Amino acid sequence: MSRLIVLDTETTGLSAENGDRIIELGCVELFNRKLTGNDLHIYFNPERESHEDALKVHGLTTDFLRDKPKFAMLANDVVDYLRDAELIIHNAAFDVGFLNKELELAGLPPLRSFVGEITDTLAMAKAVYPGKRNSLDALCDRFGVDRSNRTFHGAKLDAQLLADVYINLTRGQDALLIDIASNEPAAGAVVMIDLRSIELPVLVATEHELAAHEELLLQLDKASRGQTLFRQFDGIAVA
C-alpha cells in the first residue's frame, strides 16, 4: 500500500509564473488511512512581500518570514519526503504549479517525476456534490470536521483538515473493502461466527418446571374456555 501525503501550501500571491513564491508547506502522512505522525511543516523566506489579499488569508508577515530558510536550501529534503508517495491536494493544479516552479528554481525536476498519483480532492468533491460549494471550509462543514481553530489559513492545519475530509470523501470505499491489516471489524459490519465447532449443551426441564408449565397451560385453557390452539393441535405430530 502506497504512502499518502496530504499536502497544502501558502503563497505570497496567486501566480507562480509572475514571481509569487511558496512561504509555507504543510504535509501529513496517512498509512492504512490513519495519521502516522510523520509530518513535514516548513516556513520559507520568499524574498518578496506577500500581496495584501494573500496576507489577509495566511497572516504570515515579511518580518516573521525574514529569518526562515529559502526553499532551495531545503528542496532536496522536500523531494526525499515526497518521493514515491501519492499526494492528496485540494485544488491540486495551484499547489503543483507553485511546487514545480520552486523545484525549477532549485534546479530540480518537476513533482510528477518523483511522486506517484496526485489526487485532487476538489475535483472529487465536485463529482460527488455537483453544483454545491466545495471549498475546504464547505467540505469541513458538510462532514462535521472541526475547524474552530482556523483563524487564518495555515498549510499544516489545512493539510490536517483535508486529511479528515479525504477520509470522509472516500468512506464509501471502506464499506466494500475492509482494511485487511486490521483484526477489528468495521463499525456496523456483520460478523459471521462458525458455530459448527461449538458443542451446545441440551438442558432438560426439571419436574418442578414441567409442573409449572402445565399449570400455566391449564390457566390459559380456562381463560379461553377450551379454545386455546394447543388443545386443538393436541396429539398432532409436528414434522
Which residues are tagged catalytic?
153
Q: Looking at the chain, how many residues does it have? A: 239
Cell triple for residue 143?
A: 462532514
3-state SS record for 88-151: EECCHHHHHHHHHHHHHHCCCCCHHHCCCCEEEHHHHHHHHCCCCCCCHHHHHHHHCCCCCCCC
Asked if residues 42 and 14 have their Cβ atoms less than 8 Å apart, the reply is no
Q: How far apart are CA 198 and CA 194, in angstroms?
A: 8
User: CB 60: neighbour CB atoms within 10 A?
Assistant: 24
Instruction: Please return the burial class of 89, using the count of CB atoms within 10 Å of its CB with bins 0-12, 13-18 and 19+.
Output: buried
What is the residue type of 58?
H
| Beta carbons of 120 and 93 less than 8 angstroms apart | yes
